[in-house]
Amino acid sequence: MAERGFRKQSTTAVSDSGLRAALDHFTGAFVRMRESAQDELPNWEEMRRCAHRIKAHTMTRLDDYLLQLESKLEAAGGQVLWARTAEEASAVIVDIAGRHGCKRAVKSKSMTSEEVHLNEALQRAGVTPVETDLGEYVAQLAQERPSHILAPIIHKTRQDVGRLLAEKLKIPYTEEVEEMTRIARSTLRRDFFSADLGISGANFAVAETGTLVIVENEGNARLSTSLPRVHVVLMGIEKLLPRFADLGLFLPLLTRAATGQKMSSYVSLITGPRQQDDGPDHLYVVLLDNGRSQMLADPLMRQALYCIRCSACINICPVYKRTGGHSYDSVYPGPIGSVISPFLMGRDSHSELPFASTLCGACAEVCPMRIPLPEQLLSLRRQAADRGRSNPHLGRALRMWSFLQRHPRLRGLVLAMARTVQRLPGSSALFSRLPLLGEWSSFRSLPSLSRPGAKR
Amino acid sequence: MRIALFPTCLVSHFRPRVADCAEAVLRRLGHQVTRMGEGSCCGQPAHSAGSPAEAGQVGRLWLGNDLNDADYVVIPSGSCTAMLRHHLQHYLAPQEQQRLDELRPRIYEFSEFLVDVLEVEDVGASRRGRGAYHASCHLLRDLGVRSAPLKLLQRVKGLELTPLEKYDECCGFGGVFSVLYPEVSEAMAADKIRNLQASRADMLILSDAGCLLQIEGALRKAHSKRPSVLHLAEVLAGRSEEAHG
Amino acid sequence: MKDAKAEILARIRRGLGESPQTEPLPAPLDPALSVEDLEEAFRKAVEGLGGSWHAAEDPIQALKAVQSLTEKEEANLCLLSRHPLVERVVNSGPLEISCVRAGQAADMEDLERADIGLAAATWGAASTGTLILSAADEGTRIASLSPPVSIVLLPASGLCSDLSEFFDHQSAETARNSALTLVSGPSRTGDIELTLSTGVHGPGVLHVILCRFQSQTGPATEQEPL
């Protein structure tokens, strides 16, 4: 396991009591908002099942639907580009910027753009990217990665944000949220009006009509996709929905599961560049694979492509709640992140994440898409172990345990010795130096071994 | 009814009283109880560690245990029941599936068996004190057993059930997780214990030995004698004249 | 990137196998929430989101409502969309505030100075209080977006009970529309400590005026006397 690994980073995170209190408070609030929003609908379970089946269908015909999306978008005057890898996606977008002479980009929140490290690529090419979602803007000022896919600065207090704004914008310190919001609005206005490139993701793309769907609350996605003369959408190939009518199901499913809203403040349904209106002259859609087709090939992993990025699994996850998003060292934290990061962010560098779960099952219970997250984590553990990427002590211990299970007399002997050793003074000090047992006794006492089947 | 009680490896090695108590409850209700697979394991540790070879080896051994013509297999653990009911099939060769398929519909977790199969809620138990219930993850979410343990506990004379904040949140055990990420596991156990102490319960009642070792282990390491941590079977076996089992 | 397209499609087909087992596509679900009194449900939803609700029987009443809202908000410059309903209302009498039409704004500065916007929805979904604005009808994407205060005219004839009804019936709209925008309440954010704050990038204040009179849709009807 890598030096940086989850264990090291989560150990730092759990010892930060402020962070833990904040995470506990805010994930708890998200959970309550989701619960009350889904309880309001009498057919929430039916919605989940139907949405799961629609995505299952879409994936089995993904090639057809992508081609349909492409032809509809081109008929509407948009251009579709394809990218096999993260690097290719960044290169395509840099190339678009170069072709149109764009120097200033405004971005609305897009995890996919974080996945491909787009900002770094734009900067290298002399294009200045400005994140415009309030949370992303603050994260960018702090030169940090978002720690949550929906609430990027869930790990920061208002005082943290206030100090950061004061330092970076050279303004007087304030910790009033309304005031900080107003400051961000007026600062970013200048960027919106001077930008020549708008970059967004897409929550859904409708094959039937060639419509790109962007869900938000702030209005920055609307501005990013309306004001600059070039609009680029970067989306994973899994974002497709077959029919326009499917939005009637998927939008409420997303907004209720994500923030507990009946509907988000703004949903933009974009079909092509401007017609009679004042939108962008050019619309480009970049379709990104970057490991997704590999997930598609495995029927179990394929189901992770149904994900609508609502973050319900992240908010309910008892591990995420203690460690925060940065411990995962991925754009995608929490249970869904532990499943998809090995595919999208690097297989070897993220092979540890599937182990960073207690398999408590809370994630699958709340997932609006009914993604079998624990089963997927188990499957990824098997794959990691196969490639020699699981904990070596664990592998040895399991082999020994299996051997002893198959040799009961030897097992009896070993356990008898262990019972004897355990009764010796100083045995706990000895055990605490052994691998795994040492980890167990770090905060837990070792229970005394009994003789199985002894008459009591 | 003839019941084969599988104690599970954790109970056999660390808390045999749980199996004794489960056996006592079932006998009290008039059933014949034999033990099966004392000291053996269902293979779950290898399953959760992603080691299919070992999971298959150990699970196969479990299937070879003598059932003594029992009608049912009863297990005082939601986690091991879930392993045998849902997961073991993935580690077996086709010719071994038949034995599992035969067995599977007859395997029940202890509280599930009492309430759903025997249709008993009052097992004639009594125990004085204030108890809080922790729902073990696999019992709750893999098996979908939510209310059975509470129904049983509500009928225990003298027992006052007190609500536990986040009673259905994981305690941080998670099998191999507990030794791979002890720091996060500790944070989770600490929160569970904080909620437990806030509940003012003098006993925590749960139905999986994994959670029991985790929470009790953390309490004892911190030299805290109370609250006591009990398996559901230990509470249900209690009779007022026997005081504390 | 011709190669990329071919390769991605090939990977997908390879991943799905020779004969992909096609799951059937289920029919769209019926909406769970049906609404009896559309206007009342809409009012409740808009107010629940922090918006204000007004109703007008004719263009002159609508104009009066607009006038009083601009006064209440102490607005100085109103950005108008080119929606026929907006045209009809502002042409029905004198509006005592400087106005600038979207697309005719002299420069970005005008846009930035506009402190109130007047736009019109083409449809509305009552259960969520959602206004559906069409860029084709509005002639702009920003009259309801850029100014800090937004007034949206809502034709009573465009009401439906739930968004799913809209999505079921209006897919053809996307062909003539580069942008359809669903607006449910004011702009909001909870990014800092989950504390709700309004008006972060879009309007922080939303006023909806229900128009119980015919919306005009073409240039021919626009010339009819009011």
Mutate to test the interface with A, among B185, B192, B193 (most CBs of A within 10 A): B185
Residue A1 scores a pLDDT above 80: no
Q: What is the mean pLDDT of chain B?
A: 95
Average pLDDT for residues A393-405, to the nearest whole number?
95
Q: Flag the least confident range among A278-292, B158-172, C106-120.
A: C106-120
In this complex, is the C-beta atom of B245 within 8 Å of any C-beta atom belonging to chain A?
no
Task: Note if the pTM is more than 0.90.
Answer: yes
- Please, which residues bridge with residue B231 across strands? B206
Instruction: For residue C116, give both structure tokens.
Output: 């109130």
What pLDDT, on the 0 to 100 scale, is given for residue C23?
81
- Asked whether at least 3 C-beta pairs link C and B within 8 Å, the reply is no
HSE at residue A410, side-chain half, CA atoms within 13 A, is 8
Q: How many CB pairs under 8 A join A and C?
A: 276
What pLDDT, on the 0 to 100 scale, is given for residue A453?
77
**A402-448 residue pLDDT tens:** 999 999 999 999 999 999 999 999 898 998 999 999 999 999 999 99
In this complex, is the C-beta atom of A324 within 8 Å of any C-beta atom belonging to chain C?
no
What pLDDT, on the 0 to 100 scale, is given for residue A452?
84
What pLDDT, on the 0 to 100 scale, is given for residue C1?
59
Q: Flag the least confident range among A118-122, A404-408, A451-455, C93-97.
A: A451-455
**C15-64 residue pLDDT tens:** 998 666 778 899 888 766 677 899 999 999 999 999 999 999 999 999 99
What pLDDT, on the 0 to 100 scale, is given for residue C220?
39
Alpha-carbon gap: A368 to the closest alpha carbon of chain C (Å): 15
Q: What is the mean pLDDT of chain A?
A: 96
What pLDDT, on the 0 to 100 scale, is given for residue B244?
46
What pLDDT, on the 0 to 100 scale, is given for residue A102?
98
**A328-376 residue pLDDT tens:** 999 999 999 999 999 999 988 999 999 999 999 999 999 999 999 999 9
Residues of chain A neighbouring B13 (CB-CB closer than 8 A):
415, 449-450, 452
Q: What is the ipTM of this complex?
A: 0.95
d(CA C43, CA A441): 61
Residue C216 scores a pLDDT above 80: no
Which element (helix H / strand E) includes A80?
A: strand A79-83
Residue type, position C66, single letter = V
Q: Flag the least confident range among A172-176, A244-248, B67-71.
A: B67-71
- DSSP string over A390-408: S-HHHHHHHHHHHHHHH-H
- Out of C11, C112, C201, closest to residue A193 by CB: C112
What pLDDT, on the 0 to 100 scale, is given for residue A276?
85
Average pLDDT for residues B182-192, to the nearest whole number?
97
* Interchain proximity A88–C11, CB inside 8 Å: no
**Sheet containing strand B72-75, strands side by side:** B32-35, B2-5, B72-75, B107-109
Residue of A nearest to B137 (CA): A360
Residue of A nearest to C103 (CA): A278
Residue type, position A4, single letter = R
d(CA A398, CA A377): 19
Average pLDDT for residues A275-289, to the nearest whole number?
95
d(CA A307, CA A366): 12
Alpha-carbon gap: B177 to the closest alpha carbon of chain A (Å): 6
Residues of chain A neighbouring B35 (CB-CB closer than 8 A):
453
Alpha-carbon gap: C156 to the closest alpha carbon of chain A (Å): 21
In this complex, is the C-beta atom of C106 within 8 Å of any C-beta atom belonging to chain A?
no
Residue B115 scores a pLDDT above 90: yes
Q: State the pLDDT confidence band at C218, using cuts at 50, 70 and 90.
A: very low
What pLDDT, on the 0 to 100 scale, is given for residue C217?
46
Q: Flag the least confident range among A3-17, A206-220, B18-32.
A: A3-17
d(CA C15, CA A369): 22
What pLDDT, on the 0 to 100 scale, is given for residue C223?
35
Measure Cα distances from B89 to A225, B55, B76, B96, B103 in Å: 51, 10, 21, 9, 11
In this complex, is the C-beta atom of C223 within 8 Å of any C-beta atom belonging to chain A?
no
In this complex, is the C-beta atom of A269 within 8 Å of any C-beta atom belonging to chain C?
yes
Q: How far apart are the first and last CA of chain B?
A: 25
Burial (0-12, 13-18, 19+ Cβ within 10 Å), B166: middle
Alpha-carbon gap: C62 to the closest alpha carbon of chain A (Å): 24
Range 163-182 of B in CB contact (< 8 A) with A: 169-170, 172-182
**C62-91 residue pLDDT tens:** 999 999 999 999 999 999 999 999 999 999
List, in order, residues 6 or more apart from C116 with CB less than 8 Å away. C69, C70, C73, C75, C77, C78, C79, C97, C147, C148, C149, C150, C151
Residues A73/A77/A83/A89 CA torsion (nearest 10 deg): -120
* Interchain proximity A447–B213, CB inside 8 Å: yes
What pLDDT, on the 0 to 100 scale, is given for residue A120?
98
Instruction: For residue B1, give both structure tokens.
Output: 């009814």
- Out of A365, A444, A456, closest to residue B214 by CB: A444
What pLDDT, on the 0 to 100 scale, is given for residue B243?
44
Identify which has the larger pLDDT, B226 or C110: B226
Instruction: For residue C137, give both structure tokens.
Output: 């009808």
Identify which has the larger pLDDT, A454 or C90: C90
- Out of A354, A384, A450, closest to residue B13 by CB: A450
